[in-house]
Homo-oligomer: A and B are copies of this chain.
Amino acid sequence: MQLFFHPNLIENEIILPEDESKHCVRVLRKKVGDKIILIDGKGTEAITEIVDDNPKKCKLLIRIKNQKSKNQKSKLHLIVAPTKNFEKMEWMIEKCVEMGIDEITFIETANSERAKINLERCEKIAISAIKQSKQYWLPKINELQKFDSFLKKLETKNENELRCMAWCETELTEHLKHHIRTSANQLICLLIGPEGDFTGNEVQLAKSKDFIPVSLGENILRTETAALYATAIINSMD
């Protein structure tokens, strides 16, 4: 069954936003009395009944509310330098969210080709992807920030955290999968650099914050492909 999204499921009476109302009433032809399921991206599932099938502000009453527990798999925080063509990043967000991810932070590095993102659009894509893939938790997407300020803000790494960076330099680095501890509820922070790669300086800075270089296999992957590949592997390892 199709899921609908509303960020706030605290009150009993819910008015769907215009686009969701239209989709519900015009596209899916739902009527007064029909039941629809809402999620808030914070673990709540609400089974609701339509009390006013207005196609611009469809009104619902919550009948049953369930709080879903977050699964105990590893958490993935992807830290990525966006590509010049942002469509690739939108695709990456959709696919990574479908497969399962907790947080995405966009960074501006020395070799970055893009210093702006449309955060609202990124969030819309993420909401649509969790609805599509039937998930109850909305990943956090963070505004683009300078790489060095992102690193400076990072707290000391704790023992349940893996900090790694996909680094293109030919070094004898171990594959990401060998660093993942299964069933450990580990937080994995993965840095993916821009097409021009991280500078030596940036690599040193990341290393000083306990990021270790990891390999993503023999093939040279584009930024967005590296993100998809890593997300798939991390999700399959629990």
Oligomer copy total: 2
Can you give 7 A-B contacts (C-beta < 8 A)?
A95-B224, A98-B222, A132-B220, A132-B222, A133-B220, A229-B235, A232-B232
Which of under 10, 10 to 19, 20 to 34, or 35 or more describes the interface residues of A? 20 to 34
Given known pairs A228-B228, A233-B236, the reply for A220 and B134 (CB within 8 Å) is yes
- Residues of B within 8 Å of A95, CB to CB, are 224-225, 228
CB proximity of A181 to chain B, nearest CB, Å: 16
Of the residues B71, B100, B133, B232, contact of A228 by C-beta under 8 Å: B232
Q: A203 at interface (Cβ–Cβ under 8 A)?
A: no
- Residues of B within 8 Å of A71, CB to CB, are 218
Query: CA separation between A100 and B167, bound complex, in Å?
Result: 19
Given known pairs A99-B225, A229-B99, A236-B175, the reply for A219 and B91 (CB within 8 Å) is no
Q: Which residue of the partner chain B has the closest CB to A98?
A: B225
Q: A221 at interface (Cβ–Cβ under 8 A)?
A: yes
